[in-house]
Structure 1
Amino acid sequence: MAMIFIGGSRDIFELPEPAVVRIGTIVAAEHGVLIGDAPGADAEAQSLLAGYGYEHVGVFHAGAEPRNNLGDWTAYRIPPRDGAQGFAVHAAKDREMARRADFGLMVWDGASPGTALNVLRLALNGSPCVVYDMLRGMMATIHNTADWSAMLHNAGTEVLNAVEARMTPDERRALAA
C-alpha cells in the first residue's frame, strides 16, 4: 500500500474537481493517506475521505488533540520543538508526513509557504507530488528540486522570502546541492 501525503493551503475551502477525482482514485486503490489537521485544504480533503467512509487515514497534529479529525481516524501527535511558535509549531508534523510518504497531493493557493515547503520536502525525499496551483489554474507533478524551483518561478518575492524564512538549514543545504 502506497502512502500519500495529502495537504494544501489553509485558504483553500473547495478542492478543485481534478483533486477530488484523484482522491477518489486513491480511495479506490486503497492507498494509505497521511493528512494534517489544519482548516482549509486539509479539512476539505478529510471531509471528502470521511464521506467515502475511508479508513486508511492517519491524521497528524502538533497540539494536544487534532484541530480536525473528521473521520475519527488514528491521530499521530508530532510535538513541536521546544519554544516553537507560529508556523514552526506545525513544521515537525509536516516533515514527518513528507518523510513517511511515497507520493504527495497538494492543493496550493500559489502563496502558502507551508504548502510550497511540503512539496519541497517530498521532492527531497524522492516522493513525486501532484500540485494543483489554484492561483494559476495549473497542475504539475513535482519530482525534484528543479521542478520545485520551476513551480515557484512565478511566485512573488514575498512568497519566495516567506518560503526561505521557514526552511531548515538542512533544507537550504539540500536545495543548494
Structure 2
Amino acid sequence: MTTIFIAGSITIKKLDTLVIERIKKIVDKKLNVIVGDANGVDSSVQKELLQMGCDTTIVYSSSSKPRNNLGSWPVNIVKTNHPYGTRAFYTAKDIQMAEDADCGLMIWDSKSTGTLSNVIELLSRNKSSVVFINKVKEFLIVKSVDDFHLLINYMSELDLEKADGKIKFQKKIDELKNQQITLI
C-alpha cells in the first residue's frame, strides 16, 4: 500500500482548505500516512487526520515521547546519536520518513529549510513530492532537480541565502543533478 509522508513548515498553524481537501483524498483512499510530531504543520495535519478518523497513521519521533500524537496512533521512534534538541536530532526522523514513504505532501511557507530538506531527501531516493506553496495557494509537483529549482524561485533572495547556509541545499542539488546526468 502507498505511504504518504506529510510534513511542512513549523510556522504554518492553520492548513489551507486546498491542503485539507488533498488530505481527505488520501484518507478516503485509505493510504498509509506518516507524519512527524512537531508543532505547526505536523500537529495541524494530525488534527485533521484525527477528525477524519484516519486509522492508517503512524507518528514518527526522534524522542522516546512524541511532542504531539493527537490520535494516539502507533509511534515509530527513530534512534539517533545526535544531541537532543539539535537540528540533526529532529532531522533523523525526517530522513527515516523519506526512506519509508513512497512520496510526499509538503506544506511550505517559502522559507522553511526543514521542508526543503524533506523534498531533497525524497528526490535523492527518486521519490516525488507535491508541495503546497502556502503564500500563493498552489501545488507544485517536484520530481526532478529542475522542478526543485522552480520551487526555490518562490523564495526571497535573503531566504535563499539563509537556507543554503543552513542546509547546503545547492551542494545537495548539484550532487543529485550529477547523479541524474550519470544515469543518462
Could you tell me how far apart the structure 1 residues matched to 2:75 and 2:161 are? 32
For the residue of structure 1 that corresponds to 2:140, the secondary structure is strand
Could you tell me how far apart the structure 1 residues matched to 2:127 and 2:177 are? 19
Structure 2 counterparts to residues 42-53 of structure 1, below 5 A: 42-53=42-53
Per the TM alignment, residue 150 of structure 1 is displaced from its structure 2 partner at its CA by 1.5
Per the TM alignment, residue 173 of structure 1 is displaced from its structure 2 partner at its CA by 6.0
Residue 175 (structure 1) aligns with: 176
Residue 16 (structure 1) aligns with: 16
Could you tell me how far apart the structure 2 residues matched to 1:146 and 1:163 are? 18
Structure 2 counterparts to residues 71-86 of structure 1, below 5 A: 71-83=71-83, 85-86=85-86
- 2:116 corresponds to 1:94: no
Per the TM alignment, residue 176 of structure 1 is displaced from its structure 2 partner at its CA by 4.9
Flag the structure with larger Rg.
2
For the residue of structure 2 that corresponds to 1:20, the secondary structure is helix
- Work out the percentage of aligned pairs sharing the same amino acid: 30
1:28-58, CA deviations, whole angstroms, 9 ceiling, x for partnerless residues? Answer: 1110001000001110110010112211111
Moved more, 70-79 or 147-156: 147-156
Q: 8 Å contact 2:82–2:89 — kept in the other structure?
A: no
Q: 8 Å contact 1:8–1:107 — kept in the other structure?
A: yes
For the residue of structure 1 that corresponds to 2:42, the secondary structure is helix
Q: What is the CA RMSD across the aligned residues, in angstroms?
A: 2.0
Moved more, 125-134 or 157-166: 157-166
The structure-2 alpha-carbon separation of the partners of 1:44 and 1:69, relative to structure 1 and needing over 3 Å to count, comes to: same
Q: 8 Å contact 1:6–1:104 — kept in the other structure?
A: yes
For the residue of structure 2 that corresponds to 1:163, the secondary structure is helix
Q: 8 Å contact 1:124–1:144 — kept in the other structure?
A: no
Residue 167 (structure 2) aligns with: 166
Using the size of structure 2 for normalisation, the TM-score is 0.87
Could you tell me how far apart the structure 2 residues matched to 1:33 and 1:162 are? 31
Q: What is the number of equivalent residue pairs in this alignment? A: 177
Gaps of 5+ in 2: 179-184
For the residue of structure 2 that corresponds to 1:146, the secondary structure is helix
Using the size of structure 1 for normalisation, the TM-score is 0.91
Could you tell me how far apart the structure 2 residues matched to 1:125 and 1:54 are? 27
Q: 8 Å contact 2:12–2:41 — kept in the other structure?
A: yes
Q: 8 Å contact 2:58–2:73 — kept in the other structure?
A: yes
Amino acid at match of 1:174: E
Residue 137 (structure 1) aligns with: 137
Per the TM alignment, residue 163 of structure 1 is displaced from its structure 2 partner at its CA by 3.2
Residue 66 (structure 1) aligns with: 66
Per the TM alignment, residue 81 of structure 1 is displaced from its structure 2 partner at its CA by 2.8
Q: 8 Å contact 2:14–2:44 — kept in the other structure?
A: yes
Per the TM alignment, residue 17 of structure 1 is displaced from its structure 2 partner at its CA by 1.1
